[in-house]
Chain A
Amino acid sequence: MSRPTLLALQILVAVVCIVLWQVLSTVPVFGKILLPPFFFSNPFDVFSQIVKWFSSGVIWKHLGITLAESILAFVIGSLGGVLVGFWFARQPLVAAVFDPYVKMVNALPRVVLAPIFALWLGLGIWSKVALGVTLVFFIVFFNVYQGVKEVSRTVLDNGRMLGMSERQLMQHVYWPSALSWMFSSLHTSVGFAVVGAVVGEYLGSAAGLGYLIQQAEGVFDVAGVFAGMFVLSAFVILIDFGVTLVERRLLVWRPAASDGRG
C-alpha cells in the first residue's frame, strides 16, 4: 500500500471515531442520547478545552513539569541500571546473592510505592521522579545485565588475542554490547519514565499533566479529563518520535532483523 493511501486510511479512522462521538453525544437516537454528555462530554468541548489551555498558556507549565520529571526519572534510572547491571554481570556472586531481592522488588506493582515516596520526598517533583526511576531502573538493569552476559565468546577471545587489557575489553567489547541492549529497550524505558511521572502526579501533586487530569476529574469535568488524555498522548508520541531518531543514529551498526529485543 502506498504511503498516502495508508495515511488517508489512518486519518479516516480518527475522523469516523470523532464524528461518531460528536453525533452520539449530541443527537438523540430514538429519543435518547447514547453518550450522555456528563459522562462522555463531546469532541467539540474537549477541543475547545485544549485550545483554551494552549491559548492561555497554562498548559506549558504542566507540560514542562511532566517533561522534567520524565527526563530526570529516565536519566537517573538508566544510570543506576547501567551501573548495577554492569556490576552484577561482572560479579556473579553479587548477582546470585541479590537475585531473589531483585526479583521481589521487580514483581512489586510500583504504584504502591507512590504514597511512600510522597511521604519521603514531599509533593514536589522528586516523589514522581523516584516513582519513574523504580520503573526505568529495572528495564535498563535487566537489559544491560543481559548485554554484558551475552557477549559472544569468540568476540571476547578475539579481543584478548588482539592484546586487549581488561580495561580495553570493557571499553571496546562489554560496554558497546551492554549499551546496544539498553538502547534497544529505549522506547520501553522512556515510556515508563512518563508513566511514573504522570501516575505520581495523579496520586498527589500541585502541577503536571497527571495533576491536570486529576483536578478535572475531581470536579466531574469530563471534557477536561479527555483533553488531558489527548495532550498526554500527543506528548508521548512526540517523545517516542525523538527516541526513534536517537535510536536510528546510535544503532546503525545493528542488522534490522534483530529489532525484537527489549
Chain B
Amino acid sequence: MTTPTAVALEDAKVAFRLGDGRVYTAVEKAHLTVAQGEFVAIVGPTGCGKSTLLNVAAGLLKPAAGSVRIFDRPLAGLNRDAGYLFQADALFPWKTALDNVAIGLEIKGTPRTDALPRAQKWLTSVGLGAFAGRYPHMLSGGQRKRVALAQVLIRDPKILLMDEPFGPLDAQTRQVMGNLLLDLWNADRKAVLFVTHDLEEAIALADRVVIMSAGPSSRIIGDWRVSLPRPRDIFEVRLDKEFHALHREIWSVLKDEVMKGYAQSTHAAEAV
C-alpha cells in the first residue's frame, strides 16, 4: 500500500489490575490498522473493550504488550495527531459554545481575536451559527455533540477517534449527525476510528467494519470492506441491496458474540 498507515496497533494487549489483585485482560492481541483517509468502524458487543482499544490509540491507555504506531512512529504519551470525540458530555460547561470551539485553537497559542471568527465559522458549518452564545446546558444533546465535533475538528487533527459519539442521541438525531459527519469528513478525508455497537451505523458510515469478540480477552474476529459508493446518504444507503447483504453477513458473526456477551453480563450479575 502506498498511503501511509495512520494508526497501527500491533498485537496490542490491554490489561487492568482489579481491586482484589487479579489481572483482567480486556483485549488480547489486537491487530488493527487504519490507513490515511480511511474510515474504520469497530463494532462489538457491550463490554468487549472497543472503547479500550480506542483509548490505546489515543494514548490515554498504555497497552500491556504490543505496540502502537501513529504514522509509522511509536506512540509515546498522548496522541497529538488525534482528535477525540467522547461518548459522554465533554464540553466545558462554563464556556459558551463559541468559547468551547475556540479553545481548541487558543490552546495552541492562536490569539483570541483570530480564534473567535474561525470558531464561529465552524459552529456555522455544524449548523449552530446562531447558538454561539449559549452555554452547554442550554443546548440539546444533539447540539452539544455538534459543538463537540466542531471543537475537535477546528484543530484539524490528522486522525479522528470517536467513542460511540452518537450513542446517547435518539435514532433520528443519530442519522442526521451521521450525515453531518460524513459531509465534514468528505471535505478532507481524515483517518477515522469510529467505535459503535450499532452495526447499521457502522456499515453506513465506514470503509471497513471490524468486529470484536465478546470480552474478556476479546479479539478482533472479522474485518469487512464496505464498498458502497460515496458520497453516501445514511437514509438512502440503508435501503441498498448491498447494504442488506453485508449486514446479514456480518450479523451472522456478530450475533453469536452478542449472545455470548449478554450471557456473560447476566452471569456476572447473578454471581454478585
CB distance from B134 to the nearest CB of A (A): 10
State in angstroms the CA–CA spacing of A255 and B93 once bound together: 9
* B86 interface contact, C-beta 8 A: yes
Q: Which of chain B's residues have a CB closer than 8 A to the CB of A154?
A: 86, 88-90
CB-CB contacts below 8 Å: B116-158 with A: 135-137, 151-152, 155
CB distance from B100 to the nearest CB of A (A): 10
Q: Which of chain B's residues have a CB closer than 8 A to the CB of A155?
A: 89-93
**B78, A161: Cβ atoms under 8 Å?**
yes
**A176, B89: Cβ atoms under 8 Å?**
no
Count of A interface residues, CB-CB < 8 Å: 21
Other-chain residue from B60, B80, B96 in contact with A163 (beta carbon distance below 8 A): B80
CB distance from B85 to the nearest CB of A (A): 9
Q: Which of chain A's residues have a CB closer than 8 A to the CB of B151?
A: 162
**A157, B93: Cβ atoms under 8 Å?**
no
Q: Which of chain B's residues have a CB closer than 8 A to the CB of A152?
A: 88-90
State in angstroms the CA–CA spacing of A162 and B153 once bound together: 10
Cross-chain pair count, CB within 8 angstroms = 64
Question: Given known contacts A161-B78, A253-B135, is B107 in contact with A168 (CB within 8 Å)?
Answer: yes
**A253, B137: Cβ atoms under 8 Å?**
yes
**A157, B92: Cβ atoms under 8 Å?**
no
* A48 interface contact, C-beta 8 A: no
**B86, A173: Cβ atoms under 8 Å?**
no
Other-chain residue from A161, A177, A180 in contact with B60 (beta carbon distance below 8 A): A161
* A106 interface contact, C-beta 8 A: no
Q: Which of chain A's residues have a CB closer than 8 A to the CB of B152?
A: 162
State in angstroms the CA–CA spacing of A168 and B106 once bound together: 10
**B84, A161: Cβ atoms under 8 Å?**
yes
* B49 interface contact, C-beta 8 A: no
* B31 interface contact, C-beta 8 A: no
Other-chain residue from A162, A180, A253 in contact with B104 (beta carbon distance below 8 A): A162
* B58 interface contact, C-beta 8 A: yes
**A157, B86: Cβ atoms under 8 Å?**
yes
* B103 interface contact, C-beta 8 A: yes
**B93, A254: Cβ atoms under 8 Å?**
yes
* B95 interface contact, C-beta 8 A: yes
Q: Which of chain A's residues have a CB closer than 8 A to the CB of B80?
A: 163
State in angstroms the CA–CA spacing of A177 and B95 once bound together: 11
State in angstroms the CA–CA spacing of A245 and B60 once bound together: 42
State in angstroms the CA–CA spacing of A180 and B93 once bound together: 11
**B58, A161: Cβ atoms under 8 Å?**
yes
Q: Which of chain A's residues have a CB closer than 8 A to the CB of B135?
A: 252-254
* B17 interface contact, C-beta 8 A: no
**A157, B60: Cβ atoms under 8 Å?**
yes
State in angstroms the CA–CA spacing of A193 and B108 once bound together: 42
Q: Which of chain A's residues have a CB closer than 8 A to the CB of B58?
A: 161
* A244 interface contact, C-beta 8 A: no
Q: Which of chain A's residues have a CB closer than 8 A to the CB of B103?
A: 162, 172
* B83 interface contact, C-beta 8 A: yes
**A253, B93: Cβ atoms under 8 Å?**
yes
**B94, A253: Cβ atoms under 8 Å?**
yes
Residue numbers of B with Cβ under 8 A of A are 58, 60, 78, 80, 82-84, 86, 88-96, 103-104, 107-108, 135-137, 151-152, 155
Listed A/B pairs (7) with beta-carbon separation below 8 Å: A154-B89, A158-B84, A162-B83, A162-B104, A173-B92, A180-B94, A253-B95
Other A-B pairs beyond A158-B92, A163-B108, A254-B93, 5, CB < 8 Å: A152-B89, A155-B91, A161-B58, A162-B107, A180-B94
Q: For the complex of A and B, list the 6 residue pairs with the smallest distance between their C-beta atoms, beginning with the closest.
A: A158-B90, A255-B137, A161-B84, A253-B135, A176-B94, A154-B88
